Structure 1
Amino acid sequence: MESVKYLYGASGHCKVIIEILKSINNKVGAILDDYPKDNFLMDIPVIEFSKTEILPGDNIIISIGNNGTRKKIASNINADFAVAFHNKAIISESAKIDKGSVVMAGVVINASVNIGKHCIINTGSIIDHDCNIADYCHISPNVSLAGNVIIGEGTHVGIGTCVIQGVKIGKWATIGAGSVIIDDIPDFAVVVGNPGKIIKYNHKNE
């Protein structure tokens, strides 16, 4: 993995990424923020993004939990994005994880999984064989995805959700905490319950 120089976004999510990087002995140089509220976060300097010159090779991770915000930032800055895996994550050698994505402690990613750009694979989640997770997704803590699950761009899968094998979840959907997904889910749907039911649709902002 590349050394990460900057994190973008002085948030609670940023704290978790700092600890991921500490687990692999990567000391972050600074945290960039559009409107810094404090001078330091976990002893790392917080500086205004607009006053920072980013040079080639200055690897960045966007440390903001909101999927849409990560996409907006990634689309508007010229930077080299890195990946970060906690040293207590288990990741198959055949898995592919794209730039900007982070993998928290206790995660298991099994064979032939593909994870896109700027994704969050959160604490203790399990991604089984041959799953495909598109860009800007958030797989929350303790989510379990069975084999061959497909998840579209920008979708948020809530904490403790279980998805059976072969299910396809569309883009920019929201799956509520503790849901059990046994059928395909369309784009922009908001789903809750066991079994999961569509209760409304997100605004189509893409």
Structure 2
Amino acid sequence: MDKKPVIILGAKGIGPSAAEVFKSNGMEVYCFLDDDKEMHGKEIDLISVLGETTDDGYLKYIGKKCDAFISEENITARKKLVKLLNDRRKVMPANAIHDKAHISDLAHIGYGNFINANALVSANAKIPNHCLIHSGAIIEYNAELGDYVQVGAGARINSNVTVGAETFIGSGVTIVAGVKIGKKANIGAGSVVVQDVKDGETVFGNPAKKVEL
């Protein structure tokens, strides 16, 4: 990763974890920006929350002097902040990849992804943009995720699995080789997915079955 200082947009959720990830790589976190004014002036692990995410006084540094990372977990809010960076600063957010994550040199990694400690991304796996890969998750060879996918801690996505954009995969899930998961699907924690899941479906269990909401 680049050694520029980083401004983290969002001090809640995965914000503190993202700061830890950047520190694990010897990078300085310049500040947090958060729209909750009650947080302004506070410190998180000695990093100050200095203003709102739209504050041009800080955003102007992003690009040449600083990188930015978006720690917002809500997809709608995350997309809004990505658009903000694209429109105002003409940049994509940096990746936050923990020093103890294992990323193959043959993996394909885009922008704005969070990959926590002990995650494994194998050869020819594809993680495009703005995904959240939590601790100990495994993305096997030739697996492919869409944008804004979240993979819970300890989940295992086996070889040749495809996962559509904006899908949520809970902690401890296993998706067997070759399964196709649609867009905006939800896979409940601990589930074992042995057959394809359609767009927007929620599944749970071992084997995972559709849940009517």
Scaled by the length of structure 2, the TM-score of the pair is 0.89
Shift of 1:77: 3.5
Find 2:181's aligned residue among 155, 169, 190.
Answer: 169
1:42 aligns to 2:45 (yes or no) = yes
CA contact (8 A) 2:152 2:172 kept: yes
> Aligned with 1:7: secondary structure?
strand
CA contact (8 A) 1:68 1:154 kept: no
Pick which of 182-191 and 66-75 moved more: 66-75
> Aligned with 1:50: secondary structure?
coil
- 2: CA distance, partners of 1:92 / 1:71: 27
**Unpaired segments ≥5 residues, structure 2:** none
Shift of 1:101: 0.4
Letter in 2 for 1:50: T
Letter in 1 for 2:83: S
Find 2:150's aligned residue among 121, 138, 146.
Answer: 138
1:7 aligns to 2:33 (yes or no) = no
**Unpaired segments ≥5 residues, structure 1:** 202-206
Shift of 1:179: 0.6
> How many residues matched?
201
> Aligned with 2:32: secondary structure?
strand
1:85 aligns to 2:97 (yes or no) = yes
Shift of 1:15: 1.0
Cα deviation code 1:81-122 (max 9, x no counterpart): 111211111110000111100110011111101101111111
CA distance 1:183–1:15, shift in 2 (3 Å): same
- 1: CA distance, partners of 2:177 / 2:37: 43
CA distance 1:158–1:172, shift in 2 (3 Å): same
> Aligned with 1:15: secondary structure?
helix
1:67 aligns to 2:70 (yes or no) = no
RMSD: 1.5
CA contact (8 A) 1:170 1:187 kept: yes
Q: Identity percentage over the alignment? A: 34
Match of 2:210 in 1: 198
CA contact (8 A) 1:59 1:82 kept: yes
Match of 1:128 in 2: 140
Within 5 A, what are the aligned runs for 1:144-159? 144-159=156-171
CA contact (8 A) 1:21 1:84 kept: yes
Within 5 A, what are the aligned runs for 1:106-125? 106-125=118-137
- 1: CA distance, partners of 2:173 / 2:28: 33
- 1: CA distance, partners of 2:5 / 2:130: 14
Pick which of 58-67 and 126-135 moved more: 58-67
Cα deviation code 1:17-71 (max 9, x no counterpart): 1111110011110111112332222211112223333233332111022233212
Letter in 2 for 1:49: T
CA contact (8 A) 1:176 1:193 kept: yes
Cα deviation code 1:111-162 (max 9, x no counterpart): 1011011111110001100011111111110000110110111111000000
CA contact (8 A) 2:10 2:53 kept: no
CA contact (8 A) 1:128 1:145 kept: yes
> Aligned with 1:11: secondary structure?
coil
Scaled by the length of structure 1, the TM-score of the pair is 0.92
